[in-house]
A and B are shown apart, each in its own frame.
Chain A
Amino acid sequence: MLTASLLLIPMLFIALILFMNEKQARMIALTGTLVNLAVNIVMIAQFKIQADAQFLVSEPWVKSLGISFDLGVDGISMMMLLLTNFLMPIIIISTFNREIKSIKGYLALLLLTQAAFVGVFVALDMFVFYIFWEMTLIPMYLISLYWGKENRIPVTYKFFLYTLAGSLVMLVGIIYVYIKSPDQNFSINTFYHAHEFLSQSEQHWVFLALFVGFAIKVPLFPVHGWLPDTHTEAPTQGTLLLAGIMLKMGIYGLIRWVLPVVPLGVLHYQNLVIFLSVCGIIYASCIAIVQKDLKRLIAFSSIGHLGLTVAGLFALNIQGAQGAVIQAVNHGITSIGLFFVVDIVYDRMHTRDLNKLGGIAHKSHNFAILFMIMLLGSVSLPATNGFVGEFLLFVGLYQYSAAFTAFAGLGIILGAVYMLRAYQKVMLGEATEATSHFKDVNWSEKLVLIPLAGIVFWIGVYPKYFLDIAEPALNKILSIYTQAQ
């Protein structure tokens, strides 16, 4: 019941928003997301630390095709739900004190995206999962298209086509497993036994089909081409949804729907995936160093961080997998923080060009501190969330290959290079004519950044609370690999 209400509450509030005037709409949307967060907190209070899914919902849907509306929450889903439902109120607050046209439609789409995200993270039927997966695309598409910047139209097409192409390839893989399955259904049980009815070569290509879909979403080098442009052209909240939650669907998909489904395919391509991921870290981090646009810089840094996440995950051990889950959350927290920092700068300066900024720290002390905290999380300084995630990923990856780890480790040096450069160019130095009037963060901006900063240190200092949630479920997913050893 609780699971379903997470889906229904945003829908309900969408309806409410449409009846309100523009002023009330933001508060209503905020209330909706807060209610969802509250429900999520109730769930975490009742949550048992165990491997199997809880809060189950199972309704027959299309019986003839073996589709059942199965929902449930295990530790991995719980982490993603917490991320989604914690970030959504923050994303809504980020619209406060900002001029946004047709705000009602905008907020409704944000809530619709939330519902779709929740669906993705709780679906226990591959078909239902796929529906929600595609459903996230529609509001994102509209948000980018109607509220984006000048160059939005080609970029939004690019985004849409890239991800749609990935999804279609994925769908082919899904249908293949479905057809081959003995009892012809899409249930997670069937998929988790796919390795019993799929031959080795079938597993190889089904892996490729599923992997491409998820890899585009992550996004993994070299299929990341849509991300920097989409980030640059999307409105702030689009960026926040994208970086904060949507990209995590890729990581989540890999854990939930690839690793346990086609183990032989995973093992066959393990080396290639890790190789590409490590290439992506160095490649994207290097590119971030020579960016002039602050938002693009952070977009490329995302690609680097997520590359490490996938590399650690594909090491196929518990440290790597835990690292991937916690880093998915961390990246959501820190990248939202950083992108919102960009929003604050752009709101006042109407530019994101590093060479036109500087000296902001003189007057805006709180902003300087909050930006610094997000930066520290991003460069994974110990005692921030980023370190816990990256350390686990490194421990995991090291067990697979020391050489890959050493190359991946270059990312922590390059990360310091581009982030400190960005901070220096934006915040430090003499204030210019324009930046000397820079207004420090206001109350609603504080409401966005301070909770994020709190989580940065919470996960950094006491990650055990979060690590415990996901561990049994991850062990179960990895059992197919650990037993083989």
Chain B
Amino acid sequence: MKFAEMIWLVPVLPLIGFLINGLGRKYISKSVAGFIGCASVFASFLLVVGMFFQYQSAEHHEAYVQTLFDWIKVGNLSIPVAFQVDALSLIMMLIVTGVGFLIHVYSVGYMHDDGGFQRFMAYLNLFIFFMLLLVSGANFPMLFIGWEGVGLCSYLLIGFWFQNQNFNAAAKKAFIVNRIGDLGFLLGMLLLFNHFGTLNFLELEKFAPFLKGDKTIMYITLLLFIGAIGKSAQIPLFVWLPDAMAGPTPVSALIHAATMVTAGVYLVVRSNFLFTASPETMMVIGTTGLLTALFAATIGIFQNDIKKILAYSTVSQLGYLFMALGIGAFTGSMFHLTTHAFFKALLFLGAGSVIHGMGGEQDIRKMGGLKKFMPVTYWVMLIATLAISGIFPFSGFFSKDEILAYAYQENKIFWVLAVLGSLMTSFYMFRMFFLTFHGTFRGTHDQEHHLHESPKVMTIPLMVLAFLSLAGGILNIPHVFGGHESLHHFLSPVYAKAAELPELHLPHSTELFLMFGVMSLIGVMIFLAYRYYVVKKNIPVEEGTELPVLQKVIYNKYYIDEIYDSSVVKTLISTSTFFFKSIENFLIDNFSVITGKVAIGAGKQLRKIQTGKIGTYVFVFVVSVVVILLVNFYS
């Protein structure tokens, strides 16, 4: 049996789950809905695991494409519904179904008391369906179906509690900002089709040897990258992601941390043969990523909402991924994408567990000392925080250091700034961790009374993710530690057609020195955080306290939202109002009124001819006949 031939089932199973839960939401119980939701994703996961092992054991690691039917076929435009199984889609599908399954299970506990439970499970399944289309589609339009589909699910889930108009606004903002990126993607796709006459990945790859020096490639890749900027929340389109935290916490973990937001990275890696052919675009990607990483990290330091901190941390880590892509560290980026999926999902779910225990409270100033109330959550969060900080031997250590090593080799300025960013990351992550779990409890008495560890259905997924965050580094242990860089070898067929990618050739001593040098600096940051927040028991100031100017600006996210509001949104509204009031209502409406008046006036004048007197009619008749006869006679 070849599992790859069942690739179509992988997205279809969650779709079936969605249909059952969606259509039957009034007739099936919560436990059945939860079971269907989880089981459909787990079944897909098993199929993908089967495919993975068969792919691994095969002699030739060739991409397998399964074409189902023609979707759009007009003239020379031919877009089949087709799936592609190769190293890249396999690893993405494993993350999506694997982490996705764990989050589904967790959601059964987290959302259990919500009246819209069935609807929630249905949306989650729909999301998995679109996400799987995104990562397994064999051409750009298929990818785009998934791309916009996950955007829809993101919209539906951010606004899941739709009584709250603030949440609805956040959902709308996410969809619209993403659409801006999607327009770039769409135009990139159109240019691609115009240039090559096809949109299928494997057919496009055949052009790879002829791409060097082709200026069009720069435009194509820049346009596609606009799409990535939107979906993966990079500068300047990152503003939707922090607001997206309005959604239930499992949503933040699944969509806004582990899977959907990495779609931009996937897009670049998937079309690596295009991107690597344009050094200009690569430079843009690297710079955008680096700036985003730093920018978001500074905001993260001053936030007090546990989910907002994680949101900015996600933006920042995504920036890292793009910086890695920009300098050509494709494997490093994919590696960090994978470990990030583990530990960031864990961080969000852990935060969800905290929020669950705190009865909905998200402000870390009101937490503290939760260690003794929620021991499991405490330990898994500690693992995740160590992993994201990049402490040996947690997974983040390996993936982050691979990126840093490449940065050191390729561009020293990038390296310095990236190290700076990772220092900030470890500081604000431990700030959050210490404020939440150490010290004394600062919430209300009611909350303290209510505090409890989350149920097993939530803590078991946490433990699995904690294991992955701890051990995920195994995937790609570098030669320094006697490893074989398995992920690198696994993914190498994916970049077979790319223009030259840099190989890491630092001496082992340098590599080790960098790794542990950076790690000791991180250690210093953790110590500083410990001293400041645990020993000295500093608590961030209350809301409304006057802050120093710089801190105030950063706390308010550099006023980016306000700037966008007063520039883009205001301009749009005033233009629209101008069109409506001045052109439509004044010019266009009056045009027809004037026409009408002319017609009425003409009618009034013409009416005078119809006197109703027989004499007049006979007179006109006779004159006309005479005129006609005369005209005929002389012509």
Docked-complex contact A467 and B186, CB < 8 angstroms: no
Q: How far is the CA of A464 from the CA of B144 in the complex (A)?
A: 19
Chain B's closest residue to A418 (CB) is B576
If A290-B576, A412-B183, A416-B176 touch, whether A319 touches B75 (CB-CB below 8 Å) is: yes
Docked-complex contact A157 and B175, CB < 8 angstroms: no
If A289-B573, A399-B194 touch, whether A225 touches B591 (CB-CB below 8 Å) is: yes
Write out the residue numbers on chain B whose beta carbons fall within 8 Å of the beta carbon of A291. 580
Contact of A409 among B141, B168, B183 (CB under 8 A): B183
Interface of A is mostly: helix
Write out, one digit per residue, whether chain A residues 273-307 have a CB within 8 A of any chain B CB (1) or not (0): 00000000001001101110000000000000000
Contact-residue bracket for chain A: 35 or more
Contact of A162 among B145, B172, B175, B592 (CB under 8 A): B592
Docked-complex contact B152 and A287, CB < 8 angstroms: no
Write out the residue numbers on chain A whose beta carbons fall within 8 Å of the beta carbon of B152. 376, 381
Contact of A392 among B72, B172, B186, B599 (CB under 8 A): B72
A398 at the binding interface (Cβ < 8 Å): yes
Docked-complex contact A464 and B73, CB < 8 angstroms: yes
Contact of B190 among A158, A289, A381, A394 (CB under 8 A): A394
Contact of B596 among A157, A286, A463 (CB under 8 A): A157
A361 at the binding interface (Cβ < 8 Å): yes
Q: How far is the CA of A472 from the CA of B633 in the complex (A)?
A: 55
B193 at the binding interface (Cβ < 8 Å): yes
Interface size on B, residues (CB 8 A): 54
Write out the residue numbers on chain B whose beta carbons fall within 8 Å of the beta carbon of A388. 72
Q: How far is the CA of A323 from the CA of B72 in the complex (A)?
A: 11
Write out the residue numbers on chain B whose beta carbons fall within 8 Å of the beta carbon of A429. 162-165, 168
Docked-complex contact B172 and A421, CB < 8 angstroms: yes
If A383-B149, A412-B179, A467-B74 touch, whether A398 touches B191 (CB-CB below 8 Å) is: yes
Contact of B148 among A361, A381, A410, A463 (CB under 8 A): A381
Write out, one digit per residue, whether chain A residues 392-421 have a CB within 8 A of any chain B CB (1) or not (0): 101100110010011001101100110011
Chain B's closest residue to A380 (CB) is B148
Docked-complex contact B573 and A319, CB < 8 angstroms: no
B28 at the binding interface (Cβ < 8 Å): no
Docked-complex contact B592 and A463, CB < 8 angstroms: no
If A290-B577, A381-B148, A381-B149 touch, whether A420 touches B163 (CB-CB below 8 Å) is: no
Write out the residue numbers on chain B whose beta carbons fall within 8 Å of the beta carbon of A420. 155, 172, 175-176
Write out the residue numbers on chain A whose beta carbons fall within 8 Å of the beta carbon of B69. 462, 464
Report B158-186 residues with CB < 8 Å from chain A CB.
159, 162-165, 168-169, 172, 175-176, 179-180, 182-183, 186
Docked-complex contact B588 and A225, CB < 8 angstroms: yes
A27 at the binding interface (Cβ < 8 Å): no
Report B557-593 residues with CB < 8 Å from chain A CB.
572-573, 575-577, 579-580, 583-584, 588-589, 591-592
Write out the residue numbers on chain A whose beta carbons fall within 8 Å of the beta carbon of B73. 464, 467
Interface centre among B141, B148, B595 (most CB of A within 10 A): B148
Q: How far is the CA of A412 from the CA of B182 in the complex (A)?
A: 9
Docked-complex contact B77 and A225, CB < 8 angstroms: no
Q: How far is the CA of A429 from the CA of B168 in the complex (A)?
A: 8
B70 at the binding interface (Cβ < 8 Å): yes
Write out the residue numbers on chain A whose beta carbons fall within 8 Å of the beta carbon of B70. 464
B498 at the binding interface (Cβ < 8 Å): no
B71 at the binding interface (Cβ < 8 Å): yes
**How distant is B223 from chain A, measured CB to nearest CB, in Å?**
10
**How distant is A79 from chain B, measured CB to nearest CB, in Å?**
14
**How distant is B175 from chain A, measured CB to nearest CB, in Å?**
6
A318 at the binding interface (Cβ < 8 Å): yes
Interface centre among A382, A406, A410, A464 (most CB of B within 10 A): A382
**How distant is A481 from chain B, measured CB to nearest CB, in Å?**
13
A424 at the binding interface (Cβ < 8 Å): yes
If A382-B148, A464-B70 touch, whether A413 touches B180 (CB-CB below 8 Å) is: yes
Q: How far is the CA of A481 from the CA of B164 in the complex (A)?
A: 55
Write out the residue numbers on chain B whose beta carbons fall within 8 Å of the beta carbon of A399. 194
Contact of A287 among B194, B579, B595 (CB under 8 A): B579
Docked-complex contact A382 and B149, CB < 8 angstroms: yes
Docked-complex contact B575 and A382, CB < 8 angstroms: no
Interface CB pairs A-B, < 8 A, 23:
A158-B592, A161-B592, A161-B595, A225-B584, A283-B579, A287-B580, A317-B75, A361-B162, A382-B145, A382-B147, A383-B145, A392-B72, A392-B77, A395-B77, A398-B190, A412-B182, A413-B179, A413-B183, A416-B179, A429-B165, A430-B165, A464-B69, A464-B72
Residues of A at the B interface (CB closer than 8 Å) are 154, 157-158, 161-162, 165, 222, 224-226, 283, 286-287, 289-291, 317-319, 322-323, 359, 361-362, 365, 376, 381-383, 387-388, 391-392, 394-395, 398-399, 402, 405-406, 409-410, 412-413, 416-417, 420-421, 424, 427-430, 461-464, 467, 471
Residues of B at the A interface (CB closer than 8 Å) are 25-26, 69-75, 77, 141, 144-145, 147-149, 152, 155, 159, 162-165, 168-169, 172, 175-176, 179-180, 182-183, 186-187, 190-191, 193-194, 572-573, 575-577, 579-580, 583-584, 588-589, 591-592, 595-596, 599
The 5 closest A-B pairs by CB, nearest first: A318-B75, A286-B576, A382-B145, A398-B190, A428-B162
- What 18 new A-B contacts, CB under 8 Å, besides A225-B588, A420-B172? A161-B592, A165-B595, A225-B592, A290-B576, A319-B75, A322-B74, A382-B149, A391-B186, A395-B77, A398-B194, A402-B187, A416-B176, A417-B572, A427-B162, A428-B168, A429-B165, A429-B168, A430-B163
